[in-house]
Chains A and B, each alone.
Chain A
């Protein structure tokens, strides 16, 4: 393995060794959402005219879990090793900023997908969503996890304590994922809130992802893809720049 591959391997090993917390717990959370919202809304809501609410909910929950866990992986790893001081072992190595980026974002994608697969396996039991266009599923899952992994790198570099990290997570990441159409089709919203939802990049990640299951979505998957790709480029450019200048990690 080369240097960055070792860092990627170490980062995967890190979350895997505490898999109950990093993989099993988010899967259980998603099942609870499924049980509660599915039970309450199953008979009241139909989406795209034909899709049952539980089936509609499955991809939303999967993608939400992918995004939140991808973010949690890179951000918590960086904050923790900054506070513990063990980041020095990586700082002393010849790894380039690109190596850091690939390793931290790569492991975030791995964690996001691992949780996503887990959530899918247990929630699909409640309502099978089908696989209308599987390639879109993979593309949006990987790109979405990549964006959140890179955002996690930015947040992890910026935060100096767990409190700041929690603020980033609870005041930015959580609302943006919850308000992106995980639990509803934005067509059910009043026009004003539909417009607002269109400004949230998370909406396109989930909408494009859902297209892969149903072959139907609120906006064209190509539009979603272009917006998600642009977001990935912008967020990655910021993350790589911060790593290159050693923002808050090299004095």
Chain B
């Protein structure tokens, strides 16, 4: 039985302007027990909507979602016991300190005498010395850690992290990923959405990409990387990009990156630049990464590996 099963999930929001907005359009895929799964997509692709439906924060317009076989609508109590959700927004209850917040969250799930696990969570997330601090006094990064602890306080089998490292410093990212990776090794299923594609590449065994509410790629991370053009030519340019490159180049300020399959293609690129009278610096050739795949899939030029 899959840990999470999305079955033809659609979500339509009525919108004031124009017609209704289709946030999700027949999303179907399963996440197996114990997987570390990445859900990627540009802003507005429907990632958070999909997670909200999974968590019971929103209802699907059509389709159904199950968590370890429990329907998130009909069997919501059982489904939610299996789920630990770290919300994207940095929210907190200003009335309580960290330990109170965690005890109360345990209590909602009917978990009694949970202090040993709460202490372990605090220690693993570097929060032990903040246990008695009021939530208002914590920095953004610390609040984020508490959100993670709150999501895990009832020992859920499935952990859902919605952009957990957005705006978070390097140290916390390290702590967080070590801890989540450990939980994954211990058998917890992890569903992650992130903007940091290197995180998804490093952590996720399998990846789904959403675009405009549809699954446009669903593959093992290694297969996705293989499907991409094998190499990337990267250099700095001191002038305007030649128009020949516009449809395939990835430009970040002066840095230009071009997909390259072989030496011949690289020679061609360089000769175009030479003829345009431009100078290049810091030329390097690197392996394609998930970001290249992502851009490929999102621009619909790449191979479609849809479900």
Assess the A13–B58 pair: CB atoms within 8 A. no
Assess the A251–B58 pair: CB atoms within 8 A. yes
**A241 CB, nearest partner CB in chain B, Å:** 16
Our pick among B78, B85, B105 for the contact of A94 (Cβ within 8 Å) is B78
B57 interface contact, C-beta 8 A: yes
| Given the contacts A1-B112, A251-B58, A89 and B89 also touching, CB distance less than 8 Å | no
- Tell me the count of chain B residues lying within 8 A, CB to CB, of chain A: 32
Assess the A89–B57 pair: CB atoms within 8 A. no
Our pick among A3, A86, A88, A246 for the contact of B107 (Cβ within 8 Å) is A3
Assess the A92–B55 pair: CB atoms within 8 A. yes
A44 interface contact, C-beta 8 A: no
Among A4-12, A55-63, A188-196, A199-207, the stretch in contact with B: A4-12
Which chain A residues border B76 with CB–CB below 8 Å? 94
Residue of A nearest to B84 (CB): A92
A90 interface contact, C-beta 8 A: yes
Task: In the A-B complex, list the 4 residue pairs whose CB atoms are closest, starting with the nearest.
Answer: A6-B107, A94-B77, A251-B58, A85-B91
Among B33-41, B92-100, B183-191, B217-225, the stretch in contact with A: B92-100
B214 interface contact, C-beta 8 A: no
Assess the A251–B52 pair: CB atoms within 8 A. yes
B144 interface contact, C-beta 8 A: no
Query: How many CB-defined contacts (below 8 Å) exist between A and B?
Result: 81
Chain B interfacial positions (CB closer than 8 Å to A): 52, 55-59, 76-78, 80-81, 83, 85, 87, 89, 91-96, 100, 104-110, 112, 150-151
Assess the A89–B105 pair: CB atoms within 8 A. yes
**Which size class do A's interface residues fall under?**
20 to 34
Q: Which residues of A202-251 are within 8 A (CB) of B?
A: 246, 250-251
Assess the B107–A92 pair: CB atoms within 8 A. no
**A87 CB, nearest partner CB in chain B, Å:** 9
Which chain B residues border A96 with CB–CB below 8 Å? 77
A95 interface contact, C-beta 8 A: yes
Which chain B residues border A50 with CB–CB below 8 Å? none
| Given the contacts A84-B94, A86-B93, A250 and B56 also touching, CB distance less than 8 Å | yes
Assess the A94–B57 pair: CB atoms within 8 A. no
Assess the B108–A88 pair: CB atoms within 8 A. no
Which chain B residues border A84 with CB–CB below 8 Å? 91-94
CA distance A18 to B96 in the complex (A): 11
Contacts A13-B95, A90-B108 known; 14 new A-B pairs at CB < 8 A: A3-B110, A13-B96, A84-B93, A86-B94, A88-B87, A88-B89, A89-B91, A89-B108, A91-B57, A92-B55, A92-B85, A94-B76, A94-B77, A250-B59
